[in-house]
Amino acid sequence: MLVAVLDADVLFPMLLRDTLLRVAAAGCFRAHWSRRILDEMTRNLVSDYGMDPSRAEALRSVMEEAFPDASVEGWEEIEPEMRNHPKDRHVVAAAVTVEATIIVTSNIRDFGNLPSGIVALTPDEFLTEILATSPTDMLEAIAVQAAAYRRPTLTIRELIERLALTSPRFAEQALKALDDR
């Protein structure tokens, strides 16, 4: 099973976050993050997205409850050894600690010079890879996601079309896979 650390920047956009977490819950990959990653997510949801602080904390609590094994502990000691951009060394240290092979981030440029066996992928690349290896599970997770939305309601096709904003290649291939069903 794929093991991935989700950087804070992929946890800001609601549809992308929901998709990543639902695909993880469907067993397509094992999701991880650190307390520092969730701190950054929470802080930016409030400062950049205007979310009420109590709602941001509630979201964080729901994520932690839904994925009790996702939190990576003990990465701090190796953070100084990481060779990528200093502000994102904590993410790589978390990946090394949990033996993740993938870091999912929208900020690829800060993830050069990674330890052997770890790659940084954009959400588009990551979701496209999962779709290629687990198309049925992926489409089922997205169907469940679409069915959960009430305001506004979304069809699976509409959800995939909205995901094209952050993951255009994935959306294109997911719509094709949907049409081929």
In the CATH scheme, what is the code of domain 2-122? Answer: 3.40.50.1010
pLDDT band at 173 (very low <50, low <70, confident <90, very high): very high
Q: Where are the beta strands (DSSP E) in 29-134?
A: 29-34, 71-72, 102-104, 119-121
DSSP-derived secondary structure letter, 180: H
Residue 103 pairs with which residues in a beta bridge?
Answer: 5, 120
Backbone angles phi, psi at 136, to 5 degrees: -65, -50
Q: Where in the chain is the domain with CATH 3.40.50.1010?
A: 2-122
CA 154 to chain centre: 21
- Assess whether pLDDT exceeds 90 at residue 88: yes
pLDDT band at 181 (very low <50, low <70, confident <90, very high): confident
* Residue 111 to residue 84: CA distance in whole angstroms: 5
pLDDT band at 170 (very low <50, low <70, confident <90, very high): very high
- Comparing CA positions, the residue from 40, 29, 41 lying closest to residue 5 is 29
Q: Are 169 and 128 in contact (CB under 8 A)?
A: yes
| Token pair belonging to 111 | 């993830």
pTM, two decimal places? 0.96
